[in-house]
Amino acid sequence: MDLERSPLAEPFPEMPPIAGVTVRVARARYKDWDRTDLTFVELDDGTAIAGVFTKNVCCSSEVEIGRENVRQGRARAIVVNAGNSNAFTGYRGREAVEQVSEQVAAQLACPKSEVFVSSTGVIGVPLPKDRARAGVEAALNASPCGWREATDTIGTTDTFAKAAHAAAMLGETRVEICGIIKGSGMIAPDMATMLGYIFTDARIAPSLLQEMLDRANAQTFSCITVDGDTSTSDTVLLAATGRAENPMIETWDDAGADALYAAIADVCRRLAHLVVRDGEGAQKFIEIAVAGATSDESARRIGLAIANSPLVKTAIAGEDANWGRVVMAVGKAGEPADRDRLSIGFGGVWAARQGQPVADYDEGPVAEHLKGRDIRVDVELGMGDGRATVWTCDLTHGYIAINADYRS
Amino acid sequence: MDLERSPLAEPFPEMPPIAGVTVRVARARYKDWDRTDLTFVELDDGTAIAGVFTKNVCCSSEVEIGRENVRQGRARAIVVNAGNSNAFTGYRGREAVEQVSEQVAAQLACPKSEVFVSSTGVIGVPLPKDRARAGVEAALNASPCGWREATDTIGTTDTFAKAAHAAAMLGETRVEICGIIKGSGMIAPDMATMLGYIFTDARIAPSLLQEMLDRANAQTFSCITVDGDTSTSDTVLLAATGRAENPMIETWDDAGADALYAAIADVCRRLAHLVVRDGEGAQKFIEIAVAGATSDESARRIGLAIANSPLVKTAIAGEDANWGRVVMAVGKAGEPADRDRLSIGFGGVWAARQGQPVADYDEGPVAEHLKGRDIRVDVELGMGDGRATVWTCDLTHGYIAINADYRS
């Protein structure tokens, strides 16, 4: 099935190399296709690593092992397989991951816990060990490539290549942050896997790097949804090579910590938005800002209840300012809310205030706003100071076409 | 928008009258239409009432008042307005409900707390008091009608009339249970309101009647979902007139209690199934049986996570035995599960056992099963004795057409 490029796609950005990061790609032929499908990222000795992983309890072996390995805080390599997710493959799947780790560890003379493996694609079929072995071998011997090739190689059903770059000044030292990501929802028989890899040349302690990723994740990747379904393989890794040689950052109080975090969070947010912009069948990018909740977490949950409501998503697809559906979604979120204090707006115009339609509501500008590609929904709960912003896309015939009409 | 009759529709059943229940309908003209839209049910003095209501915290005034009134356990009348849900209308909406209650209470010389009002239809517009007053007046003067007329009158976007009947023997006394229901999802700008009314001539104490409805509800109406969205007006009322004159049933240990409960639960289950069968765009009725969970409630939550997964629903729409999507939905439910103990089947054939594809899996009978209208999904968690069955429909282009393409 050939998917059309998302109408919400963005061009591939300028992405500088990151000192201490070498990327190579190879053809493992995990599927019967003529494209690179194995990405091998070599990281300089001493690179700090942080990771966040799917909360789906039926996660893949890659996620189980990666979650374990990330605790020791160092990485020498990342291998990404595209075309086979190796999920629901029992002990044979686990063996395949171990084989890849051992092969790379032997080559780099590092502990195998410093090799991180991700896989995305067909489920229920163990990653073929022979193809993985030959693919890794080919990658080890390949010439280094650029970010664009790597992004294309980790992709599966993506309709455009997704990457983001930011820089930060840590005192007098400039550091770079480059991130690539894949994910667009799920297509039979693949999983909706979101795999993201972010690299920086900043020097930072692994424990603080993990705190930064956790904090950024909470406001970015954890605030997006396409259809509310969660892949069993979702992974975001953040690697810091230290090659910029800034003074070591160990705590939030150290000079440069805030600037580095801001740039990392910026890259995470832009990558997260790109995934939504490639949501299956997406025609509109929707930002939902919730304020006045009893806490930030409550605001996030309410935002996601709205973002996951098929009735809200179809209303926006139909360019219908249906604030009643937003009220319904707020009410079903299971969070504190009061119908009679609730206000709902579209594109900066309040349609309902304090649980009632606005008396002199002018639908003109709202109707115009809803015809656009970028939609803004405001929700004011009037309960407290909690706030959150979440992002999603609309639910269209395209989603059904991709997920129901297409057969594996 | 004219909706086609659901391909999953069932014929209207034979429904006997219930002694002590008199039904009348009238034209209140809540919308610019030529149909009856106000249903007035008069109940004999001493009728016991029980009710369950939406958990949506942004509920309508009708729900707030009904939830309060049901505590005193007696009802003399039920009024159902179709065409205007009176939701999100603030104090003016509440005043309209009070007016209807007072008008009926004055006529029947009963406390207004014994009059129950429901409304379904357009949101954000207060129920017009003048039309409500004239409609109630017309209903009071109308000739009694049958169940079919009442069912048609409470309906809004339903594509077929939904009712169920059962009888029970309480010792030597035969009692009848008749239920009618409306609901099919939601259509802009209406809410997905499910309104159900069940009547019996059995004699039973209100407190036990409420326990029976709570118990039946937990296994029927609380186990169905069309799109996971919850109306702000959902209501099921159960009225028992006592005219069968069976020996009073006051506790679960009293003779006839079990038989009566079984018949009530049977009617609830059949009504619940009919709502799913009229799910927006539904082409297939899906039963999901979850066993081996750590508790029944955990099984129900897992079942609903599967039933609400757009990826599972679209896979079944596409007649694709995509067990990986079912595993994914189990994993995201937030309930105890273990990928490597999980088994998934379709139509009685296991596709995956203990987290891996079945070695000699024969897709033939499964593919045949998925071509049918009634789909069965089995999930065995291998964790404990908890079990639940939930029901849903598939997610099709029809759902998008109804909810996005149609504009209010």
Tell me the H-state helices in B70-146. Answer: 90-108, 129-141
Q: Are the beta carbons of B320 and A408 separated by less than 8 Å?
A: yes
> B interface mutation test: which of A85, A88, A380 has the most B CBs within 10 A?
A88
The DSSP element (H or E) to which A81 belongs, if any, is: strand A77-84
Q: Are the beta carbons of B395 and A400 separated by less than 8 Å?
A: yes
Architecture of domain A21-277: 4-Layer Sandwich (3.60)
Cα four-point dihedral sign A237, A238, A242, A247: negative
pLDDT tens track of chain A, all 408 residues? Answer: 567 899 999 999 999 999 999 999 999 999 999 999 999 999 999 999 999 999 888 889 999 999 999 999 999 999 999 999 998 888 899 999 999 999 999 999 999 999 999 999 888 889 999 999 999 999 999 999 999 999 999 998 899 999 999 999 999 999 999 999 998 765 333 456 899 999 999 999 999 999 999 999 999 999 998 887 778 889 999 999 999 999 999 999 999 999 999 999 999 999 999 999 998 899 999 999 999 999 999 999 999 999 999 989 999 999 999 898 899 899 989 999 999 999 999 999 999 998 888 988 888 999 999 999 999 999 999 999 999 999 999 999 988 888 887 544
Question: How many angstroms separate the CA of residue A312 from the nearest CA in chain B?
Answer: 9
E strands, B242-310, are 285-293
Residues 6+ apart with CB under 8 A from B268: B179, B196, B198, B213, B216, B217, B219, B220, B221, B236
- Which pLDDT score is estimated for B232? 84
- Which pLDDT score is estimated for A211? 98
Q: What letter represents residue B23's amino acid? A: V
pLDDT in tens, A275-330: 999 988 999 999 999 999 999 999 999 999 999 999 899 999 999 998 988 998 99
Residues of A in contact with B367 (CB under 8 A): none
Q: Is B56 helix (H, G, I), strand (E, B) or coil?
A: coil
Among the listed residues B89, B120, B193, B200, the single catalytic one is B193
Q: Point out the residue among B228, B314, B400 whose CB comes nearest to the CB of A314.
A: B400
Q: Is A403 annotated as a binding residue?
A: yes
| Torsion angle in degrees (nearest 10) through CA of B345, B350, B356, B362 | -120
Q: By CA distance, what is B281's nearest residue in A?
A: A400
Answer for the pair A365, A276: CB distance below 8 angstroms, yes or no. no
Residues of A in contact with B310 (CB under 8 A): 227-229, 310, 395, 399, 403
- For residues A203 and A46, give the distance between their C-alpha atoms in angstroms, rounded to a whole number: 10
- For residues A286 and B213, give the distance between their C-alpha atoms in angstroms, rounded to a whole number: 41
Distances (CA, A) of A333 to A326, B170, B229, B252, B316: 11, 42, 10, 35, 27
- For residues A101 and A79, give the distance between their C-alpha atoms in angstroms, rounded to a whole number: 9
Q: Are the beta carbons of A325 and B188 separated by less than 8 Å?
A: yes
Give residue B237's Cα distance to chain centre: 10
Q: Provide the 8-state DSSP code for B334.
A: S
Q: Are the beta carbons of B406 and A318 separated by less than 8 Å?
A: yes
Q: Are the beta carbons of A407 and B327 separated by less than 8 Å?
A: no
Q: What is the ipTM of this complex?
A: 0.86
Residues of B in contact with A56 (CB under 8 A): 328, 331-332
Cβ burial of B371 (10 Å; 0-12, 13-18, 19+) is exposed
CATH of region A285-405, choose from 3.40.50.12140, 3.10.20.340, 3.40.50.1000, 3.80.30.20 = 3.10.20.340
Output the six-digit token pair for B25: 């309908």
Q: Is it true that A21-277 and A285-405 share their CATH fold?
A: no
E strands, A143-205, are 162-170, 173-182, 195-200
pLDDT in tens, A193-241: 899 999 999 999 999 999 999 999 999 999 998 887 778 889 999 999 9
Q: What is the mean pLDDT of residues B248-267?
A: 97
Q: What angle do CA A188, B293, A331 make, to 5 degrees?
A: 70
Q: Point out the residue among A329, A331, A403 whose CB comes nearest to the CB of B59.
A: A331
Question: What residue spans define the domains of chain B?
Answer: 21-277, 285-405
Q: Are the beta carbons of B356 and A311 separated by less than 8 Å?
A: no
Per-residue b/e over A397-407, b at no fewer than 16 CB within 10 Å?
bbbbbbbbebe
- Catalytic: B225? no
Residues of A in contact with B404 (CB under 8 A): 314-315, 317-318, 320, 394-397
Answer for the pair B189, A357: CB distance below 8 angstroms, yes or no. no
